[in-house]
Every structure is written in C-alpha cells, then in structure tokens.
Amino acid sequence: PGAGPAAAAPPPQQRSKATQFVSVGSQFRASMGALVSTLSATNPHFIRCIKPNDARLPFTLHARTSLTQLRSCGVLEAVRVSQAGYPTRLPFIELLERYAILLPPTPSNHKARFMPQTLAHSQSGQAEVRHLAEVLLKSMQIAESQFMLGRTVAFLGTGVLARCEAARSAHITRAAT
C-alpha cells in the first residue's frame, strides 16, 4: 500500500506554484523579454529578405518580382550610393553636433554652432539642418563631388570624414592655445 504511482504524486491542493501549468502567453512574454535583451546587447545589422518567386518554388527566381522588392526596400539606391564612392553615411544632426564649430561665424550659423539638435524638430528646421550641412562641407573646401546630401543623411566620399576630424582637431588646438 502506498507504493504505487498514485501515492507518489501529492494531492492537487498541495502542489506548489512552480509545478503549475505555464500558459502560452507567459512563454511568449518570457521569449520576447529574452529577445529584447539580446537585441539590446548587440549592434544590429539589418538583413532584407525577398521572395524570389510568388509560387514559393525552390531554385526559381522571377527577376521582375525580386527587382520590385529590392527597389521598394531601398536596396538598389543604397548600392548605387555605395558604388558612387560614398562609404560614410552621417545624419545631418550628428554631422553638425560634431563639426558645427567649423561653420563660418555668422549670425545665421550661431544657433547651429551651439545647439544643432534644436533645429531639426520641424520641417523647416530639417531643411535648415540640410542647408547648414552643405554650408559646413563647402566651407571646409570639400569638393561637391566628394559628398551627396540626402533627405536626412550626408553621404561622404572616401577620406572626407578624416579631413573633417583633422580640421576639428586643428580648430580645437588653435582655440586652446
């Protein structure tokens, strides 16, 4: 008596919470928490997946379908910019935050030199930030063939970022002495 499998399990009212059923929602929540913590600890690089054909057949590529997807994802434009020789992408705000001290000292540039992040909060501010990025690069005598300006990002040619850093270091050194 008492040696069978029924005697080994405690009565239902004595089970601990640890042995209770875990719901699918709880499993999902725990899984998402683990995923978010993993993503927070990494430097994301995005992979764009495309469907090679509408029928989902293996080893079959429909060029028109794939090309449409690549265009809509912006992949073709990114490749074009990269092939054009602009390996560095820098948002206008970051460009101005780092190099605004190199802007010519004019009254219109004063706000950008000391508070560039306050400019981009409106549509007109974004246009002004873009204009100031262009003024900055031209004032550093960087040829127009060495940079391109997008809607929010400056594409810099090979060596342009190094020239910006050298100019910034020289400016800071002159100011300190």
Which string of b and e fits 49-65 if b means at least 16 CB within 10 Å? eeebeeeeeeeeeeeee
**CA dist 130 → 3, 108, 119, 145 (Å):** 81, 14, 10, 17
Cα distance between residue 78 and residue 86, in whole Å: 10
Q: Is 146 exposed, middle or buried (0-12, 13-18, 19+ CB in 10 A)?
A: middle
Say what the pTM is. Answer: 0.52
Beta bridge pairs of residue 153 = 91
pLDDT digits (tens, 9 = 90+) for 110-139: 555 555 555 555 566 778 888 889 999 999
Tell me what percent of the residues of the chain surpass a pLDDT of 90: 31
pLDDT digits (tens, 9 = 90+) for 34-69: 888 887 787 766 677 888 999 989 999 999 999 999
**Average pLDDT rounded to a whole number, residues 78-104:** 85
